[in-house]
Amino acid sequence: MKRIIIEDDIFRVFPDFKRGIIVVKDLKNSLANKRIKKPLNKEIEKRSKEDLSHHPFLKAWDEVHLKFGSDPNKFPPSIKSLLNRIKRGGGFPFVNSVVALFNYISIKYLLPCGGDDTEAIKGNLRLGFASGKEIFIPLGGGEEEHPEPGEVIYFDDQSLKIMCRRWNWRNGDFSKISENTRRIVINIDGIGVVSLALIEEARDELAKLLIEHCQAILFTGLLDQGHREIEIGI
């Protein structure tokens, strides 16, 4: 039975890390949905008018990246990348309903949010420090890469394929969510000044939206220093 595992060393270095979890057992994904696009575009427009460069949620992730040896300006956390794209005036494409919904929640709450197709994953979904032997092919394809030793990665601990490099910088291609994906694990991360209550609020809103727009069958969970792993049952 697959599990999501946060390694002990992560909590040793980052004791206030917490992760909201949504495990989707089945859903109907789509390549277009006007009912999702409208609130997403409204949130994009709102954020485009704000200067969030010194927001404590974003600064906290900058500090995290620096702490494990990554440059957050060269390799920005996902929430920072989304906001940078909004500031450039382009927004971002509607990939599919699930991706659009977690992008919406991400920019609404200013929290990194991502998801993976669990049917592509052989072992446990593990967040930990890289040995350097793990395998990464970036979203969209490209040459095989290996992480730097000590880099925080989210990976399949059986195949050693990486779902996301530098904690929340870039997704891997092998576990991407497509219109055919039916089983998903979604994570919503917080650290530093981000409260547990806010993580739960963002997680629960996203779960509700997935049920409403994608007819999702799901359950939710939470990982923190006191609860370091969860069985996902799929």
Amino acid at 93: P
Instruction: Tell me the CA distances in angstroms from 49 to 32, 35, 43, one per residue in order.
Output: 26, 23, 10
Can you tell me the distance from the alpha carbon of 148 to that of 141, in angstroms, rounded to the nearest whole number? 19
Domain residue ranges of the chain, discontinuous segments joined by +: 3-231
Kindly state the helix (H) or strand (E) to which residue 3 belongs, with its residue range. Answer: strand 3-6
Blockwise average pLDDT, block size 10, the chain, 234 residues: 96 98 97 91 94 95 97 97 91 91 97 97 98 97 95 98 98 97 98 97 98 98 97 84
At residue 45, the pLDDT reads 94
CB contact at 8 A, 115 and 19: no
Can you tell me the distance from the alpha carbon of 96 to that of 88, in angstroms, rounded to the nearest whole number? 22
At residue 89, the pLDDT reads 86
At residue 234, the pLDDT reads 66
What's the predicted TM-score (pTM) here? 0.96
CATH architecture designation of domain 3-231: 3-Layer(bba) Sandwich (3.50)
Residue 106 exposed, middle or buried by CB count within 10 Å (0-12, 13-18, 19+): buried
Instruction: Tell me the CA distances in angstroms from 145 to 28, 57, 137, 185, one per residue in order.
Output: 33, 30, 6, 24
CB contact at 8 A, 138 and 169: no
Six-digit token string for 37: 């696009």
Contacts (Cβ under 8 Å, ≥6 apart) of 190: 17, 18, 19, 20, 57, 111, 196, 198, 199
